[in-house]
Amino acid sequence: MRPAISGMAAVVGLVLGLVPSTVSAQIVPPYDITEVREPCADHDPLRQPYFGTTHLHTGLSFDASIRFVDVSSGNTPRGAYSFARAQSEIILPGPSGVQGPTALRRPRLDPARALDWGGVTDHAELFGEMGICKDFEGQTAPGRLSMECRMLNGFFYQPPYNENNEYSATIASNAFTQVTVQGLGPISRMTRTPVCENNPDTCASAELKVWDEIRMAAEEAYDRTSACTFTSFVAYEVASTPLGVNWHRNVFFRNDRVVQRPVSAIDMGVQTNTSPTTGGPDGVGVPPTSVSLVATEVPDDPEVHPVPVGARVTHPLPERLWNRLDAECLDGGAITGGTDVYCDFLAIPHNSNLGGGNALIPPLFYTPFNAEDARRKAQFEPLVEIYQDKGASECRFDPRPDSGGGVDTLDEFCNFELLDTTSISQASGVGGGAVSSGVKASDFNPRAFVRNVWKDGLELANMPEFEGVNPFKMGVVSASDSHNGTMGFYPEDESFPGHLGIDDAWPVSDPASIQNSTGGYSVVWAEENSRDAIFSALRRKETYGTSGTRIVVRFFGSFGFDTALCDAGYQTLVETGYRDGVPMGGDLRDATGMPLFAVAAMKDDYIGTNLEQIQIIKGWVDFEGNAREQVIAVVGDSGDADRPELGIDPGTCETKPGGYEQLCTVWQDLDFDPTQRAFYYARVLEKPVCRYSTHWCRERIGVDPLLPTEACQAQLDALAETDPTLAAQGAACCSNQTTPTFVQPVIQERAWTSPIWYEPNS
């Protein structure tokens, strides 16, 4: 059982003077109560930080299964929730040749790092196929011996085929393509795989059984007692990936009233494929509409509202997703039974650094069709994933001489966890992995990065046709996207087991794996650890994301703060922040002077790395209509984005002395113009630490990435002479911030808050 205040919340109270107030059950909280449960004994109206995850896969995801992350080893939603609560280990695939130490393939969370909340987000598009192939319908069910089941169960490529597992990984990549090409990649007329098209009744039954399994696992993990030790959410992932562009979204439901069947990427096609196997006008099945087709006409169909009928588009329609969930969940058209009151949901677009579009497909954050489309986007997708295993999406600044520098930014601290690809398929190890020749700033659509999306949202809100609506007024979360079931496991050392089964069991072996990071936390400020409280925090965007550390950060904006507010103590700061201002995720209106922003942060006391600085980033649109940004270091030391390795002892990989346990300041924007829309968010930087890959290479491979490139490569070449297998497993170890495969051996862990937006007086 958790104490009344646990983890980082307790540290905040101890160091900064916050006295938690335990509230009686009679006090009405500032959010709807939709649940049937005991009131939480630990309820604080000033809110506490709860650390969770919004993106995690288990063996029920098809792309985990083809990499031998399997439900038969307990890698299930139940297993993931048990792992997150530090109750059990997770067993990961480890064929000979890549197994490594036993503990590496059987990770377990330290109880001190148990999660507060989370949701398993397995891919919904293949729930039917997974149900058939994983025997939810029995071993003799129709389709059980299909080609799809043989691929999903690894029948044709049981490892190992060589000491580096290369053949298994290659075949797994091909299997991924085969089971996704019909439903995830097209722009229209998506279909399920042949096993489901040929056995529709069995597939429908299997899909519901998998969905029930996910729902039951979440309910069993949810602590409805007054102890409120853990909150689980029913959730799933929508994996639309037109032509390798990331259009994925994680759907979270508020309580146990959810849709009867998940609405998925297959439902987002511009047009429905009515005859995938039974024959069309020419007597043959109609395949999905090729992405090479220039455009598809939007049909006269209420499910595409408010997209104009007859518009020609080259992408699936997330409006179909929102509309179906709106009708089936919010309006109660097709919800499950349950103990709770009504259905509610939100969707979280993720990993926008790989969602920048291409010549045919627009970016994940494309310009809405009209004002109503913009409103619905803002309503249903209030958050965005700013960081996860596949890199950072805040912004991009590439320090390599031939890279072109920043993508609509000069911010050198945007050099954090960059990927050398624009394709989610390549970053996921499909089709040969991430490119190793590097990519340039000009290869990215600016809207691949959240800060640019926020700036564009200000511009769109200024356009008359959008009636003042900002469709991109999103808060932030972080996540992992691990496909190993290891919910909440973000070690920055050699204990990181990769995130994709056998593909990256040695995560320093190739560009596609070493560029991936360990992921980070989604953090909410909520009154208590319950579904209603946390979902309400997500909805109002009082959230922040971290890169894997448990920094605690508060951020308030106001037109009436005292500049000496930090001297009054933490509780006074928070009380004043709520009374006289708005927290992260909120709107400032009715300007009465220059806005002030109070920001306070505390280091992660478990890891112990001190803070270096807090920055406030401002975005606005100037008088000429140009989107602008400014990065202001408001407290702490300035740091050096180009040379974080200077803060590391190269012999021990330990952080050099210095930094701060906590930081707090009030900053005033003296350049504020009350006629200009703007946003402000805080970025908190820790002192430098060695990246997990540096520990991996030093401890497990015997190669030192902190050495100059030539010296590191000499070590790797010498190792290849004596132990070629080990050298192959560490082949990417000498990657650094100057090489074609961009890897920073030393990084600065960080936290990003949701912005506070300023809206001019109407």
Written in H, E and C, the secondary structure of 632-675 is: EEEEECCCCCCCHHHHEECCCCEECCCCECEEEEEEECCCCCCC
What's the pLDDT at 15?
A: 37
pLDDT band at 540 (very low <50, low <70, confident <90, very high): very high
What value does the mean pLDDT take over residues 303-327?
95
What value does the mean pLDDT take over residues 391-398?
97
What's the pLDDT at 21?
A: 37
Please tell me the distance from the alpha carbon of residue 540 to that of residue 538, in angstroms, as a whole number.
6
Give the pairing of strands 231-232 and 117-118. Answer: parallel
% pLDDT > 70, the chain: 90
CA distances from 30 to 34, 295, 532, 536, 734 (A): 13, 47, 10, 9, 53
Beta bridge partners, 345, equal: 253
pLDDT band at 243 (very low <50, low <70, confident <90, very high): confident
pLDDT at 571 over 50: yes
Cα-to-chain-centroid distance, residue 333:
29
Please tell me the distance from the alpha carbon of residue 9 to that of residue 709, in angstroms, as a whole number.
42
What's the pLDDT at 3?
A: 26
Question: Among all chains, which residue has been given the structure tokens 């996704």?
Answer: 180
Q: Residues 32-60: pLDDT tens digits?
A: 999 999 999 999 999 999 999 999 999 99
Which residues, 6+ apart, have CB-to-CB distance to 7 below 8 Å? 51, 112, 116, 550
> For residues 103, 107, 112 and 116, what is the CA-based torsion angle, rounded to 10 degrees?
180
What's the pLDDT at 758?
A: 97
What value does the mean pLDDT take over residues 569-593?
95
pLDDT band at 432 (very low <50, low <70, confident <90, very high): low
Beta bridge partners, 478, equal: 387
Q: Residues 697-724: pLDDT tens digits?
A: 999 999 999 999 999 999 999 999 999 9
Q: Name the helix (H) or strand (E) containing 543.
A: strand 543-546
196 vs 169, more confident: 196
Beta carbons of 253 and 234 less than 8 angstroms apart: yes
pLDDT band at 168 (very low <50, low <70, confident <90, very high): low
What's the pLDDT at 312?
A: 92
Q: Residues 219-228: pLDDT tens digits?
A: 999 999 999 9
Q: Name the helix (H) or strand (E) containing 379.
A: helix 371-380
What's the pLDDT at 591?
A: 87
525: phi then psi, degrees, rounded to nearest 5: -100, 110
Strands (E), 188-261: 231-232, 235-238, 249-253
- Side-chain-facing half-sphere of 309: CA atoms under 13 Å: 5
What's the pLDDT at 16?
A: 43
What value does the mean pLDDT take over residues 672-691?
97
Question: Among all chains, which residue has been given the structure tokens 């439903």?
Answer: 183
What's the pLDDT at 489?
A: 97
What's the pLDDT at 10?
A: 32
What's the pLDDT at 557?
A: 98
What's the pLDDT at 20?
A: 35
User: What's the first-to-final CA gap in the chain, in angstroms?
Assistant: 50
pLDDT at 7 over 50: no
What's the pLDDT at 588?
A: 97
What value does the mean pLDDT take over residues 535-556?
98
pLDDT band at 437 (very low <50, low <70, confident <90, very high): low
Please tell me the distance from the alpha carbon of residue 659 to that of residue 640, in angstroms, as a whole number.
13
Q: Is 147 exposed, middle or buried (0-12, 13-18, 19+ CB in 10 A)?
A: middle
Beta carbons of 351 and 441 less than 8 angstroms apart: no
Strands (E), 547-698: 552-558, 582-583, 587-588, 596-602, 611-621, 627-636, 648-649, 654-655, 662-668, 678-686, 689-690
- Cα angle 482, 128, 276; round to 5: 115
Which residues, 6+ apart, have CB-to-CB distance to 628 below 8 Å? 455, 619, 620, 621, 622
Question: How is residue 53 written in tokens?
Answer: 């995850």
Q: Is 92 exposed, middle or buried (0-12, 13-18, 19+ CB in 10 A)?
A: buried
574: phi then psi, degrees, rounded to nearest 5: -70, -45
Question: How is residue 181 written in tokens?
Answer: 């090409």
Question: Which amino acid is located at 521 in the chain?
Answer: Y
% pLDDT > 90, the chain: 77
Beta bridge partners, 659, equal: none
pLDDT at 96 over 70: no
Question: How is residue 615 written in tokens?
Answer: 């920055």
Q: Residues 467-524: pLDDT tens digits?
A: 999 999 999 999 999 999 999 999 999 999 999 998 888 899 989 899 999 999 999 9
Domains in the chain with CATH codes: 62-526 (no CATH), 551-691+748-758 (2.60.40), 692-743 (no CATH)
To the nearest 10 degrees (0 to 180), the angle between helices 77-84 and 200-221 is 20
Q: Residues 644-671: pLDDT tens digits?
A: 999 999 999 999 999 999 999 999 999 9
Bond before 308 cis per omega within 30 degrees? no
pLDDT band at 293 (very low <50, low <70, confident <90, very high): low
Give the closest residue to 739 by CA, choosing from 408, 403, 283, 414.
403
- Side-chain-facing half-sphere of 583: CA atoms under 13 Å: 23
Q: Residues 675-684: pLDDT tens digits?
A: 999 999 999 9
pTM across the whole model: 0.94
CA distances from 39 to 121, 248, 355, 753 (A): 27, 35, 41, 29
What's the pLDDT at 337?
A: 87
Judged by DSSP in three states, 629 sits in strand
Residue length, the chain? 762
What's the pLDDT at 211?
A: 98
pLDDT at 241 over 70: yes
Question: How is residue 724 written in tokens?
Answer: 């070629």
Judged by DSSP in three states, 310 sits in coil
Mean pLDDT across the chain, nearest whole number? 90
